[in-house]
Structure 1
Amino acid sequence: MSRAAFTMLELLFVILIMGLLANYGVELLSKAYKNFIFTSINNSLQANSAMAVENIAARLQYRIKDSVIARGTDGTFQGLEANSDSTAPILEWVGYDAEGFRGNTTPMPHWSGIIDIGLSTSTALVSPATDTAKVETLINTLSNGTSGVSSAALYFIGSDSDIQTGYGWNGAISTQNKAMHPIRRDVAAPQNFIPINGATGADNNFTGVDVYEYYQLAWSAYAVGISDYNVITKTGTLMLYYNYQPWRGQTYLRDATAVMLMQNVSTFRFMAAGSVLKIEVCVKADLMEDYSLCKEKTLF
């Protein structure tokens, strides 16, 4: 006895089941795809923001702590510890020469960080175990041939400093009675530092100036901030500026080497409590306008 393949009721039932399966299948695929996109974006933002924060922190680690300032878009600035403007966009500081202090050819540092007070004079500071020829070569390499010892300055550890005038944030340092002391090398005596006028490069002296036994050598200031900010997307590019010397009258906008740290940055914040510094970077995704992620780091 023969039988039809499907009755109308059975056919409708099969169509209903297939429709339900197709509908839920599409939803499952859509959710899986959205989860994949979200995970990919989240992982990318996590990695990129962490890298940006670590790059900034790596340079802040070697900051001269009293030199850190918050700078406004109009060029005004104040010491970070006294900063009352939480929206100040630029973080700026002087970093000491960590590479030269470590040395790169022998276990000995290129500059020792010690001044022999007894052997030094008002026109030449003697730094035992320092080789300014090696310092010159290293700075020249790191700056791509644009800086050397004559671009550098000394900072006496423990000395008094005025954030407004001591570091060159408001113009070149022409005397030796500030926090930063512009110097040049003495080719005939590589352990000596010769004081100079930061504005002209002419020799001057330490007459009437307190000279300390311990110092740090610096050849660059650093600045971090958001550039090319888009008011529609509310994002910009986080930039690092280096290889400029405020004590010579240079600024990050006019004279520095600029390096891009990260794109699509919505926020760059920083604050200080004493010598402790906290930085925060927030980024947005191109594909997900409402999704952002923040990374922060505290430095001592």
Structure 2
Amino acid sequence: MRRAYTLIEIILTVAIAGILSMGMFKALEAIALRSEKAKALSTLSIDSQSALDQISSLLYNRIPLSAVGFDFNDSRPYRPLDEVNDKTILEWYGSADESYLSGDYSGFVDLNRSDFSTRTLYSPDTNLSALLVREKIKWNDPSLDFSDLLLLFSQTTFKGYGISGSLPNTITLGGTPPETIYEQYRIADSAYAITRKEHAAACFPNPAFDDDTLLLFYDYRPWKGENFCDGKVTVLATGVNAFRAQMLNGTIRLSIDMNRPVRGSLSPVKLSKQKVVF
């Protein structure tokens, strides 16, 4: 004779099934959360590495001794990066040869053929005409001339000189003549600055990006009285809690802290990464 289930047995069975279902749901939820966190961490790693690679590539072509640190309301001259560690904006001068072809300028002076009394430098394997043509194309400015460029010697102090030239390989220095002329020189045509939007909101008021956006400012010339707000700007990364640059033993140590919220989690995923630029 078939025995029927009692009400108590049915209730117990449903209760046990509910408990098991709840436990399975919690387990699946935890697995999904771990998966989302792993995905967010992977994205953060890629984004932070991409930002650091872009910055280091630009810094690699910096003019020696040009890296400085400052805050938005500071006035020039800014202090060298190796003398500060708590400033919010990193700036440096970019070497023009990063976008030129070989033969535009050599970066060296023939001291025996140069005339120091007239501040006329003979630079072999240099074509100033070609250099100027490339500058006009790069800046999309047909009126650009040598006064928009800056010549700096590789020495222990950071001081630039305006230049002019009529012959392909003859450079005339403007302004106060230097006490010493060095064999190696670099030409700067732009400066770069990096900061979070929090520290330069007046220069980048775009409401689509919050204060944790890391910005790169470029194509401006401090030696002509311009600051980074006068340049172009692009977004390097979002979700950046902190960005730091420190100079130590001639190298620049870059640090970036990023976070990203994860659906279902009360706390965001965080990641810190560093890179050294020689």
TM-score greater than 0.5 by the shorter chain: yes
1:152 equivalent in structure 2: 149
Answer whether contact 1:132 1:191 (CA < 8 A) is retained. Answer: yes
Instruction: Kindly indicate which of the two structures has a greater share of residues assigned to helix.
Output: 2
Within a 5 Å distance, the mapping from 1:57-206 to structure 2 comes to 57-76=56-75, 77-83=78-84, 86-100=85-99, 103=101, 108-121=102-115, 122-145=118-141, 149-157=146-154, 159-161=155-157, 166=158, 179-186=159-166, 189-197=167-175, 206=177
Closer, same or farther in 2 for the Cα pair 1:192/1:18, shift >3 Å?
A: same
Distance of 2:123 and 2:232 partners within structure 1: 30
Give aligned pairs, total.
261
Are 2:251 and 1:267 equivalent residues in the alignment? Answer: no
1:217 equivalent in structure 2: 187
Answer whether contact 1:225 1:240 (CA < 8 A) is retained. Answer: yes
**More displaced stretch, 132-141 vs 55-64:** 132-141
Task: Report the identity percentage.
Answer: 24
Q: SS where residue 74 of structure 2 aligns?
A: coil
Answer whether contact 2:71 2:87 (CA < 8 A) is retained. Answer: yes
In the alignment, which of 197, 208, 220 is matched to residue 244 of structure 1? Answer: 220
Q: SS where residue 66 of structure 1 aligns?
A: coil
The one-letter code matched in structure 1 to 2:251 is V
2:205 equivalent in structure 1: none
Could you state the TM-score of these two structures normalised by the residue count of structure 2?
A: 0.82
**Per-residue Cα deviation, 1:238-283 (whole angstroms, up to 9, x for no partner):** 1111112222222112x21111111221111111123121111112
Once the 2 structures are TM-superposed, how far is the Cα of residue 99 of structure 1 from its aligned partner? 2.6
**More displaced stretch, 89-98 vs 279-288:** 279-288
**More displaced stretch, 282-291 vs 123-132:** 282-291
| Contiguous gaps of at least 5 residues in structure 1 | 167-178, 198-204
Are 2:269 and 1:291 equivalent residues in the alignment? Answer: yes
Closer, same or farther in 2 for the Cα pair 1:16/1:133, shift >3 Å?
A: same
* Runs of 4+ with >6 A deviation: none
2:254 equivalent in structure 1: 279
Once the 2 structures are TM-superposed, how far is the Cα of residue 100 of structure 1 from its aligned partner? 4.5
Could you state the TM-score of these two structures normalised by the residue count of structure 1?
A: 0.77
1:175 equivalent in structure 2: none
| Contiguous gaps of at least 5 residues in structure 2 | 202-209
